[in-house]
Amino acid sequence: MRRVDLGTTPSVLLPVFAFACGGPTEPGPPPALAVVSGGAQTVAIGSHVPQPIVFQAEDPNGAPLPAQFTFTLRSITCSTSNGTICGSTPGDDQLVNPTLTTGSDGKATFSGWTLGTKIRESKCLGAYPGTSQPKNGGDVGLAVVCVFPLPGPPAQLTKPSTDNQQAPAGSTLTGMAVGVLDQYGNSLGCIQVSAAFCVGGLDVQITFTPSAGGLVSQTQVTTNRGGAAADWTIVSGVNTLTIAVGSLSVTYSATGL
């Protein structure tokens, strides 16, 4: 695994750095490969990355190299929960025509990146010299570029709290919760990267509606943590609590004794 310093400034979008490592495609060290633009985009999961990624091969002084240089992009897995660590473990993104050759200006542009459907705090590509797989399992290549995925719109609701409870009339059932997932089963909550901030997530409005006589501690809440909960005070007999997000809803039942 290779640790990549992406900085510690609290921000949803983390900076992208290129770094030199890996093996040459011909005698002599490979050029440095910089990410000129296209990094740190925020992209919906399962979607095509809209802004092309532009790379530039550079000499030790940072000047563009006019000679052609071939490299290959691969989806890799990176973690930012304890510093940023990237390895050569494959990610789930789909890449079209991932082998690139720089032109006379030293630049090469990649526009064939579609995010996979599994949420991570970042989705990253590693750039490797040549067209072959890296020989070293811990080699993350010449450069890394990341974008940050957002979950899709609400598509599923879950009931993490206990259903069909029985309690004396007038009792308060605490923390009656709902979880909100997208069509791929990802939580709409943001991913905690550090104690200071998290990335991703979507705000949704959640409505709690008790049956006649029942009371809730909050009737509506907007959250980016992928769910919400309310305390529910029940009355004698059968009680219901409907929790809705747009046209989606789940219902809890409880009996007041």
DSSP track, 187-242: BSSPEE-SSS-EE----EEEEEEEPTT-EES-SEEEESSSEEEEEEE--SEEEEEE
At 194 the pLDDT is: 66
CA dist 29 → 20, 70, 161 (Å)? 10, 14, 58
Separation of CA 158 from chain center: 20
At 80 the pLDDT is: 59
Q: Which residues contact 61 (CB under 8 A, 6 or more apart)?
A: none
- pTM score: 0.78
At 113 the pLDDT is: 98
Q: Does residue 121 contact residue 199 with C-beta atoms inside 8 Å?
A: yes
At 28 the pLDDT is: 57
At 218 the pLDDT is: 96
Q: What is the pLDDT along the chain (257 residues), one digit of tens a residue?
A: 443 333 322 222 233 333 333 334 344 567 899 999 999 899 999 999 999 999 999 998 889 999 899 999 999 988 756 656 787 778 999 999 999 999 999 999 999 999 999 988 889 999 999 987 676 656 778 899 999 899 999 999 999 999 999 999 999 999 999 999 999 999 998 877 666 767 778 889 999 999 999 999 999 998 877 899 999 999 999 999 999 999 999 999 999 99
CA dist 244 → 14, 201, 231 (Å)? 34, 18, 16
Q: Whole-angstrom Cα distance, residue 12 to residue 24?
A: 35
At 121 the pLDDT is: 81
At 92 the pLDDT is: 93
CA dist 12 → 9, 146, 219, 225, 243 (Å)? 9, 13, 29, 14, 29
At 199 the pLDDT is: 73
